[in-house]
Amino acid sequence: MFSRDSRPPHIDTLIGKGVRVQGDIEFLGGMHLDGAIAGNVRSDPARDSTLSVSEIGSIEGSVEVPNVILQGQVRGDIRAAERVVLGPTARVEGDVYYGIIEMTLGAQITGKLVRLAPPAAAEAAAKG
């Protein structure tokens, strides 16, 4: 979308614009959200797991996914150990914990930005 990596994320799960989910969601691989989720969103910790949220998508809860591509709204903290990409219509009301962050002009964050240590550095520090 906005990253230098030109290939689109792999999508295993699609939640359409007419769908509203009440409760937590856990998924494997890639998920695209056009609807609304009132609950936490979590994926497997694999480095290629990705959540993409369109301009009309929204989440009211925390997000814990290695890669997040956000065009819509999240009301809650985002924890993305790999990458967060915030498009021009992205709105976050919460803290963003990231490995790498990419923001486009117009994206809004009401909260803190906290850089996470890269996994290799974290392992070296733990052994140290």
Assigned domain for 5 exists:
no
Alpha-helix residue ranges (DSSP H) falling in the chain: 119-127
Statement: residue 85 has pLDDT above 80: yes
Q: How many domains does the chain have?
A: 1
Per-residue pLDDT at 120: 58
Assigned domain for 78 exists:
yes
Per-residue pLDDT at 117: 84
Name the pLDDT band for 3 (thresholds 50, 70, 90): very low
Domain that holds residue 64: 13-127
What is the pTM assigned to this prediction?
0.86
Assigned domain for 8 exists:
no
Number of H helices, E strands in the chain: 1, 16
Assigned domain for 80 exists:
yes
Assigned domain for 6 exists:
no
Assigned domain for 4 exists:
no
Assigned domain for 3 exists:
no
Q: Given CA atoms 47, 96, 52, 22 in this order, what sign does their dihedral have? A: positive
pLDDT, mean over the chain:
90
